[in-house]
Structure 1
Amino acid sequence: MGRFKKAYLDLLNRTLNPLTLRAAKRGRGPFSLVRHVGRKSGRTFETPLILAGDPLGGGFLVAELTYGDQVNWYRNVVAGGGQIVHRGRTYRIVSVETIPAEEGLRAFGGPRSAILRLLRRHDFRRLDVELVPDAAP
């Protein structure tokens, strides 16, 4: 990873992520929360994301990998699973699958899809999930 990209991601971690984490935990706004365990550290992390889909209706959510497939949350989920807190409910990630860009864009729909197209985003993952009964968000 280049020096500029690493510095940019570090800045996001210190500034924007704390704000979006609070929104995700409250089930407000467009943010969901991904809980994952570090591959090396064994620590639990929480990462805010904007996801598309209806986990209750279809059993899956769609993630757009803005920073590629080498980001820690994604690598941790692929290696060891994780959970998603989406609109106040907790789901266990059952599987992760690469999907075609058109399918990912359709999942986001409307204005979000148009923005993703303008930004030339094409890296999407389908996250199959199961509701965790009685889990605290």
Structure 2
Amino acid sequence: MKRLLGFLLVLVTLLALAVGAVITMVVVGVRSRDRRFIRAFTKFQRDVVNPEVLKTAGDAGQQFSVIEHVGRKTGKAYETPVGARRDGDGWVVSLVYGREASWVQNLLAAGSGVLHTDGRRHRVDGFEIVPIDSAPLPEDEAKAITFFGITEALRLHDAGEVDEASVPAADTAGEES
């Protein structure tokens, strides 16, 4: 019995160290803006995390919204989950992976997109990249932003609600976040 408990203790310790190493790697990778890390991590997020988040993102009462955008290279419609916060006549989204993220580049190139948030779809335009300090964020989110070293946000101007029928079908796996 003592031997089994010792084995379990070692196993739990190794698991905790592995989880700690992964968390450290993610924080360091995001803070350093290492392109190789960001590319690999966003591919994992796009292929594994986003499909699950997209099942409820944008629905009334959900934490995450969905930005619907058109690929500047592919011309395909994509959906990417984002954390949009209301800000005056629009929204603000913290740029976790910076302004180089594909969804950001797609929006900037197209000049508009659709934000699905709280059960409604809004055409968004008039994009502006701003310092994260000027974005209205809840305190718990502000702490995470500081921890990950996020420095910019994207302001989205609300250009009005969109009729469901006018929104093209999207690749629900999403594009790079």
Q: TM-score range by the shorter chain?
A: 0.7 to 0.9
Q: Which of the numbers 93, 96, 100 marks the counterpart of 1:63?
A: 93
Q: Which of the numbers 119, 124, 128 marks the counterpart of 2:157?
A: 128
| 1:82 equivalent in structure 2 | 113
Q: Distance in 1 between matches of 2:125 and 2:80?
A: 18
Per the TM alignment, residue 114 of structure 1 is displaced from its structure 2 partner at its CA by: 2.2
Q: Distance in 2 between matches of 1:15 and 1:8?
A: 10
The structure-2 alpha-carbon separation of the partners of 1:117 and 1:79, relative to structure 1 and needing over 3 Å to count, comes to: same
1:40 is aligned to 2:70:
no
Per the TM alignment, residue 14 of structure 1 is displaced from its structure 2 partner at its CA by: 1.0
Q: Which stretches in structure 2 are left out of the alignment for 5+ residues?
A: 1-33, 168-177
Which consecutive segments of 4 or more residues in structure 1 shift more than 6 A?
none
Alignment check: 8 A CA contact 2:72 2:106 kept? yes
Per the TM alignment, residue 33 of structure 1 is displaced from its structure 2 partner at its CA by: 0.4
Aligned length: 132
TM-score (norm 2): 0.68
Superposed CA RMSD in Å reads 1.9
Per the TM alignment, residue 23 of structure 1 is displaced from its structure 2 partner at its CA by: 1.6
Alignment check: 8 A CA contact 1:52 1:108 kept? yes
Q: 1 or 2, which has the higher strand percentage?
A: 1
Q: Distance in 2 between matches of 1:25 and 1:130?
A: 17
The structure-2 alpha-carbon separation of the partners of 1:4 and 1:111, relative to structure 1 and needing over 3 Å to count, comes to: closer
Q: Distance in 2 between matches of 1:72 and 1:133?
A: 23
Q: Which of the numbers 124, 127, 143 marks the counterpart of 1:114?
A: 143
- Residues 70-92 of structure 1 show CA distances to partners (whole Å, capped at 9, x for unaligned) of 11110110011211001011111
| 1:72 equivalent in structure 2 | 102
Equivalent residue of 1:23, what SS? coil
Sequence identity percentage: 28
Aligned residue identity for 2:131: P
TM-score (norm 1): 0.85
Larger Rg: 2
- Residues 2-37 of structure 1 show CA distances to partners (whole Å, capped at 9, x for unaligned) of 433322111111111001111214334210000001
Matches within 5 A, 1:22-33: 22-33=55-66
